[in-house]
Amino acid sequence: MTGVMNGKVVLVTGAARGQGRAHVLRMAGEGADVIALDLCGQLPGVAYKSAEPTDLDETAELAREAGAHVRTAVVDVRDLAGMHAAVASAVVDLGRLDVVVANAGICIPRAWDQVTEQEFEDTMGVNVRGTWNTVMATAPHLVAAGGGSIVLMSSSAGLKAQPFMIPYTTSKFAVRGMAKGFAAELARYHIRVNSVHPTGVDTAMGSRAMLAQVAKASMADPRLRGMLVNMQPVDGITTEDVADAVLFLASDASKYVTAHELAVDAGVSEF
């Protein structure tokens, strides 16, 4: 560990486990204090198990063991007022905010004609509105701090069309565009905004239940399964692999990188 985040305060959504926990621990290990937010309740429509309050508690404890001051809040990213309140309270406690990782998201694989109106609405609500809410609740604090970095978690599905998950693909392309729009308007405040695009990651979202859902959806047109294959000979990547990329964008090592989409996708978006 090099201490590249010493003196910084980082906020992560979807922090209770999976990629969110990995981002929290990577930042804490590099010297940052952390604001960890999560719904800690039933996610809408998903096949995989949702996080619980004990998961967020464990993330916080692990970050404290790494030396970080930690503030947590149970909040739904779809609730803008709740996000404003949670962020403001934590920033008062920790003194500032420098980095935001908008990580919370869901995926509900379905063949196109099996997607329900509610599933589309839920996916857009969490992945798009939730990401927008996160930026709206946090960006004023970065302005007050004199600048910072915002990282929006998209997906390889935000770079390349992926079958059997039209709502998810739609949402992740939207997140990519959102990053570019915010990057343009926040640049004058010395705030950088970038998106990260992983391939499949070893998390609850990549669980056996989720893979079974993808396999079932793909029966609608097995020809298209090859679109989900990585160029590199790996089935997926780890949360730590993604956290390394996020750390780069959060740190001063990327001080002139903005409005960029960083693919951590084993080549799937080019294959």
Active site residues: 168
**Any bridge partners for residue 34, and if so which?**
10, 70
Q: Is there a contact between 11 and 35 (Cβ–Cβ < 8 Å)? A: yes
Do strands 261-264 and 191-198 pair parallel, antiparallel, or not at all (unpaired)? parallel
The residues, any chain, with a CB within 8 Å of residue 133's CB and separated by 6 or more, are 77, 78, 79, 80, 83
Distance from chain centroid for Cα 73: 17
**Helix (H) / strand (E) containing 83:** helix 80-94
Closest CA to 228 of 167, 269, 171: 269
CB 221 within 8 A of CB 156: no
CA 59 from centre of chain: 16
Tokens describing residue 42:
């039933």
C-alpha span between 145 and 214 (Å, rounded): 43
